[in-house]
Amino acid sequence: MADQTQPWAERTVEVPPQPGVVPQQRDGYRRGVASVGAPRVPQTEPFPVVEEPTGTGWPGEPVPRRPLSWHLAQLRRGGEWSAAGGLFAFVCWGIWAISGQGNLTGPIFIFALSLLVAVGLFALSRLLGRVILERQLGRVRHTARGAHLITAVFLVVLGVAWLQQTEWVVSAWNWVTGN
């Protein structure tokens, strides 16, 4: 027996092969050959036919519905565009609102109304995509990136419009560009 104070790697000893003695194999193990899964068993029966519903069956047949979590995950894909546009619009609105030097009730109402218009634009984009892409062209939409991109462009244009209404931003822009 090996000394137990030595590390295990030093206690392991390779036994050289002995002529005429076949080592016992375990579970189809062969030295130098990688096992890649279970051994194949020849199949005597034909493959069973599994019919999956495609939703294009007989008229009046119910169409399988997807869970709400799938729809919400689909709406979230591309949301970074809307978030970036919303952040830009918020910063531009803040510059415009603070530069007004008055009551913030009106600017807050305008910002909330602008966000509602952006949400409506997003919903309209999704509706048009559903009618055109899914119903007319037969394509499946996996994300909402197009609708988020349209909403982001709207919010960026809105933010630029707020900056154009701020006098010191316009004068600074004119000074930088030399106009």
Contact between 115 and 83 (Cβ < 8 Å): no
- 155 has a pLDDT exceeding 70: yes
**What is the spatial distance between Cα 18 and Cα 124, in angstroms, rounded to a whole number?**
80
pTM above threshold 0.85? no
Would you say residue 113 has pLDDT above 90? yes
Q: What pLDDT does 84 receive?
A: 94
Residue 149's pLDDT is what? 94
Judge whether residue 55 has pLDDT over 60. no
Residue 30 pLDDT > 80: no
Q: Which residue is it, tokens 């106009």?
A: 179
Quote the pLDDT of residue 65.
Answer: 77
Distances (CA, A) of 97 to 101, 106, 114, 139: 8, 9, 14, 44
State the maximum Cα–Cα separation within the chain, in Å, rounded to a whole number: 101
With a CB cutoff of 8 Å and minimum separation 6, the contacts of 122 are 82, 147, 148, 150, 151
Cα dihedral: 170, 172, 176, 179 (round 10): 50
- Rounded Cα distance between 155 and 114, Å, is 8
